[in-house]
């Protein structure tokens, strides 16, 4: 019997759009995968329902201790503050770069692609995201379209992106397929 797929969820300490963390997490678990929460440091992180604080979540692994070979795929939830903090975290950027260099799938929703832009991995890729990221994605060499979900297989790895929580059904379906869980 094969080992279950291990899926890393990368988040900052706060500002995480909670549904963009919890809904994909539950789908990964239901499909037999093992989700792990990675953040800047151990402790808890704060989810939000838009601008309203919601639940807290226990961190499994701090970014500084994360080893790419421990994970089969990455999920980057959105939230403006979450995504802005992630792109300024050198360890989060390193994790994405190592993961992409290894040719492993990544799924990012809403503002999550900001981390991909910072990691300089969107060149030649087709993405969707929250509309305010379109110019950043294009300036980083990617292409952008306003779609419910975009699956791009290019440059040796698979990228799944979506615009917002309203796209979670399509996002989860496509991400699980890319992760080999569907």
pTM for the predicted model, two decimal places: 0.98
- In whole angstroms, give the CA distance from residue 114 to residue 111: 6
Sketch out the chain's domains with CATH numbers. Answer: 6-178 (3.40.50.880)
pLDDT digits (tens, 9 = 90+) for 72-124: 999 999 999 999 999 999 999 999 999 999 999 999 999 999 999 999 999 99
Higher pLDDT, 20 or 1: 20
Catalytically active residues, by annotation:
110
Q: Identify the pLDDT of residue 158.
A: 98
**First-residue to last-residue Cα distance in the chain:** 17
Q: Identify the pLDDT of residue 1.
A: 72
Longest dimension (CA), the chain: 45
């Amino acid at each position: 019997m094969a080992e279950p797929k291990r899926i890393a969820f990368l988040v900052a300490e706060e500002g995480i759009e909670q549904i963009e963390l919890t809904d994909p997490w539950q789908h990964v678990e239901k499909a037999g995968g093992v989700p792990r929460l990675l953040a800047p440091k151990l402790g808890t992180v704060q989810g939000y329902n838009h601008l309203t604080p919601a639940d807290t979540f226990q961190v499994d692994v701090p970014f500084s201790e994360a080893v790419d070979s421990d994970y089969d795929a990455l999920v980057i939830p959105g939230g403006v503050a979450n995504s802005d903090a992630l792109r300024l975290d050198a360890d989060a950027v390193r994790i994405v770069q190592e993961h992409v260099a290894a040719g492993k799938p990544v799924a990012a929703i809403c503002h999550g692609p900001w981390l991909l832009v910072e990691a300089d991995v969107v060149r030649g890729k087709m993405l969707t995201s929250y509309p305010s990221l379109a110019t950043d994605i294009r300036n980083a060499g990617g292409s952008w379209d306003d779609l419910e979900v975009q699956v791009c297989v290019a440059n040796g790895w698979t990228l799944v992106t979506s615009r917002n929580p309203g796209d979670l059904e399509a996002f989860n379906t496509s991400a699980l397929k890319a992760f080999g869980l569907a």
